[in-house]
Amino acid sequence: MIRTDWTLNEALTLHALPFPELTYRAQTIHREHFNPTAIETASLLSIKTGGCPEDCGYCSQSAHHKTGVKATKLMDVEEVLEAAGRAKAVGANRFCMGAAWRSPKDRDMDKLCEMVRGVSKLGLETCMTLGMLTPEQVIRFKEAGLNFYNHNIDTSPGYYPQIAATRTMEDRLETVELVRQGGINVCCGGILGMGEAERDRISMLVTLATLPAHPGSAPINLWNKVEGVPVQSRAEPVDPFALVRMVALARIMMPATVVRLSAGRMGMSDELQALCFLVGANSIFVGDQLLTTENPSPGSDAELLNRLGMHVAPATAFPAEAALSRRIDARTTA
Ligand code: SAM
Ligand code: DTB
Ligand code: SF4
């Protein structure tokens, strides 16, 4: 059953289950909704890097921090399409274009929509992550055929003020809701390892699992270390079993959502990634580069999946993912 009325206490109780019990429940639910051998693949491209006016304390691209990331202009459509072609060649099924903006400027909308159309023509699913959107911009992207919009809540509502001051959790949730109502699939998740308490991590998942409809995809990122940002002094490595517990909890509370093991895989062993796949993670970013930080090579990912007898599956293997965010009122669905 898909529920959007989870409480923090229920989530805390699930999370406190003995590891074998929690993981068994997650695996059972995973198999009810997905082929446990199928993995979705997305590839990222930073189409406009650095110089961002937001002050997100974890991010290499904020103009508020000295990180050494060079600010660039918005890329040309041709260059983006070439990169999308390369992503397809290394096995990506979805192409996610990210910009270091608080929100897109209306003057850039024609170019952005052209990118969406061009990437779709290459036979890839499209995703954009550009910051806050207006209702008009959502309409433009829907018309251009954008499949997904990524907009993360990043952390729990309680911890959010500790990580960003130029925007609020309410701002984030507003854009997520505009995107959903506009009929674009929602990709929404967060980051672990920014100095938040265990309770904050669980509360972040409860926030996702109690949205009016579960996101189609939920990226779970480990904070990728960046020198020179405020989070650096607070960050603590995430215990591998704590990560597995979070993935399992996400799977139990959001049974039909595609859970992406996102940033942070460079520091994960093959065994840890395998455990995450076993309890419900069923998507990864492929390609050497995320936005400004590194990701495992396509060759090593292919080898890992091969050793596990798992395979990359096309979007059609994840039908519930797209259907989820389109639900007008998930509270009534079973
Ligand atoms: N500027 C847009 C926004 O904030 O929505 C889009 C790009 S932003 C880089 C996309 C997401 O990447 C953030 O919301 C955050 O969750 C994630 N992210 C950024 N820096 C990260 C880091 N160092 N480690 C892990 N995740 C990170
Ligand atoms: C998401 O949740 N993770 C991606 C994507 N959505 C945009 C971004 C990860 C960024 C990691 C840090 C970097 O490369 O700058
Ligand atoms: Fe800008 Fe997005 Fe980075 Fe925040 S997370 S500083 S909005 S690029």
Domain chopping of the chain, boundaries: 8-332
Could you count the other beta carbons within 10 Å of the beta carbon of residue 123? Answer: 10
Written as six digits, the tokens of 67 are 């990180």
> 305 and 311 in contact (C-beta within 8 Å)?
yes
Identify the residues whose C-beta falls under 6 Å from ligand 3.
52, 54, 56, 59, 61-62, 100, 131
Which one-letter amino acid corresponds to residue 28? Answer: T
What is the reported pTM?
Answer: 0.96
Cα of 291 vs centre of ligand 2, distance in Å, is: 6
Average pLDDT over residues 71-90: 97
Identify the helix (H) or strand (E) that includes residue 24: helix 19-33
Q: Is the distance from the beta carbon of residue 60 to the nearest atom of ligand 2 less than 6 Å?
A: yes
The model's pLDDT over 226-266, given as tens digits with 9 standing for 90+, comes to 999 999 999 999 999 999 999 999 999 999 999 999 999 99
Query: For 8-332, CATH number?
Result: 3.20.20.70
Our answer on whether the CB atom of 290 is closer than 6 Å to any ligand 2 atom is yes
pLDDT at position 329 is 42
Nearest CA to ligand 1 atom 23: 224
Q: Residue 77, Cα to own-chain centre: how many angstroms?
A: 24
* Nearest atom, ligand 2, residue 289 CA: 14
Residue pair 20/70 in contact (Cβ under 8 Å)? The answer is: no
Mean local confidence (pLDDT), 101-106 = 98
Over residues 268-290, mean pLDDT: 98
Q: pLDDT-derived band of residue 316, with 50, 70 and 90 as boundaries? A: confident
| Best probe residue, ligand 1, of 44, 49, 56 (max atoms within 8 Å of C-beta) | 56
pLDDT category of residue 173 using cuts at 50, 70 and 90: very high
State the burial class of residue 307 (Cβ atoms within 10 Å of its Cβ: 0-12, 13-18, 19+).
exposed
276 tagged catalytic: no
- Token code pair at residue 215: 């996101």
322 band by pLDDT with thresholds 50, 70 and 90: low
Q: What kind and span of H or E run contains 204?
A: helix 198-209
pLDDT the model gives residue 325: 61
Give Cβ neighbours of residue 31 (< 8 Å, ≥ 6 apart). none
CA of 46 to the centre of ligand 3 (A): 12
Each residue's pLDDT tens digit, 127-170: 999 999 999 999 999 999 999 999 999 999 999 999 999 999 99
pLDDT of residue 326: 54
